Structure 1
Amino acid sequence: MNTSNTLLNALIGAVATFVLSFTGIGPVLGGAVAGYLEGGETNDGLRVGAISGAIASIPVFGILLLILFVVPVAPDAGVVLGSALFILGIIALVFAYTMALSAIGGVIGSYVKREL
Structure 2
Amino acid sequence: MDEGNTFVNALVGAVVTAVTSGFIPLSPVLGGALAGYFQGGTRSDGLKVGAISGAIALVPVVAVVFLVLSLLGVVSAGSGEGVLPFAFGGIIVLFIFVALAVYTVGLSALGGWIGNYVKYDTDIDI
Contact 2:18 2:60 in 1 (8 A): no
What is the deviation of 1:76?
4.0
Q: Distance in 2 between matches of 1:51 and 1:76?
A: 43
2:34 matched to which residue of 1? 33
Which amino acid is the alignment partner of residue 37 of structure 2? Y
1:107 matched to which residue of 2? 113
Q: Distance in 1 between matches of 2:36 and 2:28?
A: 12
Q: Secondary structure at the match of 2:41?
A: coil
Is there any run of 5+ residues in structure 1 with no aligned partner, and where? none
Q: Distance in 1 between matches of 2:61 and 2:86?
A: 21
RMSD between superposed Cα atoms in Å: 2.4
1:52 matched to which residue of 2? 53
Identical counterparts, % of pairs:
46
Q: Distance in 1 between matches of 2:30 and 2:65?
A: 23
Structure with a larger share of its residues in helix = 1
Is there any run of 5+ residues in structure 2 with no aligned partner, and where? none
Contact 2:29 2:110 in 1 (8 A): yes
**TM alignment of 1:85-100, pairs within 5 A:** 85-100=91-106
State which structure, 1 or 2, has the greater radius of gyration over its C-alpha atoms.
2
2:80 matched to which residue of 1? 75
Aligned pairs, number:
114
Q: Secondary structure at the match of 1:40?
A: coil
Q: TM-score, normalised by structure 1?
A: 0.84
Q: TM-score, normalised by structure 2?
A: 0.78
Contact 2:18 2:61 in 1 (8 A): no
Q: Secondary structure at the match of 1:24?
A: coil
1:12 matched to which residue of 2? 12
What is the deviation of 1:8?
1.2
Which runs of at least 4 in structure 1 moved beyond 6 Å after TM superposition? none
Contact 2:54 2:105 in 1 (8 A): yes
